[in-house]
Amino acid sequence: VHNAPKVQSEFERQQGESRIVALVLRYSLSEMAEHKSLVFNLLILLNKCLINSLLVRSFMEESNAVQAFLYIFQRSDNEESRAQAVRLISALCSGGNRKCQRQLSALGGIAELIKPVRNYVQSRAPVVGAKAGVKFQLLEVGQSEEVQDPLENPYGNDVSIMVVAILDCLGKAVVGNRVNETEFAEREGVDALLDLLEISSFVVRIQVLRLISDMLQNQMLVAYANAWRSCSSLRSAAQVLCHCWLDEEVRLDSQRRENGVICDVWNPLGNQKWPVEDGEERKDLDGDVVNTKALTSATNSNTANMKSMTVTKLATAILAGRNSTQSNLPTDI
């Protein structure tokens, strides 16, 4: 372990990163399983070198390594290698690296990142709202109108490592860069994210929601979200977000009163059965039963004390003002 810095320095002196990139490009289109495995492991090695060495990062920025990784992403038929290439692009564009972000935009990388998301969405049915029992009619040809029972598959659709890597790359390469955000919206990227949200499982849904939230910090992109309608269920973005909320309530076993009022604004996803009627049991955060009658009387007494104190202070202020006015009146008329 103590020789690790020396090995890394020797690796950098021998320009190991350039040799690895050359090997990756040489065997990226090979059909042999050994070569595919070699490319995958070399990309993992490059990712570790990129994270641990500023010299390797500087070399990749100056040598336009984004183009090489984007080429692997476009041409390789191995999904694992493509995901690793996207992770390398994400690492290069992280930290607000405007140079690599401009390179990605100039090479058409933003449009290329949207295409796999589109292809992933087309073959999957919507799952948002299914766990909460929301009924909606599917309009796509070839899809069944009956939504799969969420109790049979509580995680929804499968999770693609490619989609997860692309979401991370979009968060690093597009969010915060107004030029890239505008191009992303013009390429119908906001629509692709909302389509992905509608079919995403609980595991991926959080990441998609976080990315959409960061994107919509740019007020110019809000109009794209408002104009979106689902191609499968004709739901709006607001409806899909509300159905995500309902799914979370069901997943967390959150109960509410019949009229649906949120009683606890500090814990809106928590249990909403209170306030309860007199004589009913209510449990606090520790699980202990609270005497609701005593609690109600104590609340009323505190409210009454607060009102009485307020009235007293107000009356004192009025009397003080009246006395000062009377004392300022002239004594001889």
Please check whether residue 105 is in contact with residue 178, taking contact to mean a CB–CB distance below 8 angstroms. Answer: no
Question: Could you check whether the bond before residue 275 is cis, i.e. omega within 30 degrees of 0?
Answer: yes
Q: What is the pLDDT of residues 145-158, one digit of tens each?
A: 444 444 444 445 56
Q: Among all chains, which residue has been given the structure tokens 């104009």? A: 227
Q: Which position has the higher pLDDT, 274 or 187?
A: 187
Average confidence score pLDDT of the chain: 78
- What per-residue confidence (pLDDT) applies to 164? 93
Is the pLDDT score of 228 beyond 90? yes
Lowest mean pLDDT among 167-176, 190-199, 254-263: 254-263
Q: Which position has the higher pLDDT, 42 or 302?
A: 42
Q: What is the pLDDT of residues 266-304, one digit of tens each?
A: 777 666 665 555 445 554 444 454 444 444 454 444 444
Single-letter code of the amino acid located at 200? S
306 vs 110, 194, 313, 316, 319, CA distance in Å? Answer: 59, 49, 11, 15, 20
Q: How many CB atoms lie within 10 A of CB 126?
A: 27
Helix axes 33-52 and 54-62, enclosed angle (nearest 10): 110
Residue 142 pLDDT class (50, 70, 90 cuts): very low
Phi, psi of 256 (to 5 degrees): -140, 170
Q: What is the pTM of this model?
A: 0.72
Q: Tokens in use for 255?
A: 């109960």
Please check whether residue 121 is in contact with residue 193, taking contact to mean a CB–CB distance below 8 angstroms. Answer: no
Q: How many CA atoms lie within 13 A of 201 on its CB side?
A: 14
Q: Among all chains, which residue has been given the structure tokens 């390179």? A: 103
Burial class (CB in 10 A: 0-12, 13-18, 19+), 184: buried
> Could you give the CA distance from residue 26 to residue 220 in angstroms, rounded to a whole number?
42
330 vs 260, 321, 322, 326, CA distance in Å? Answer: 64, 17, 15, 9
Mean pLDDT of 314-323: 61
Q: What is the pLDDT of residues 93-117, one digit of tens each?
A: 998 899 999 999 999 999 999 999 9
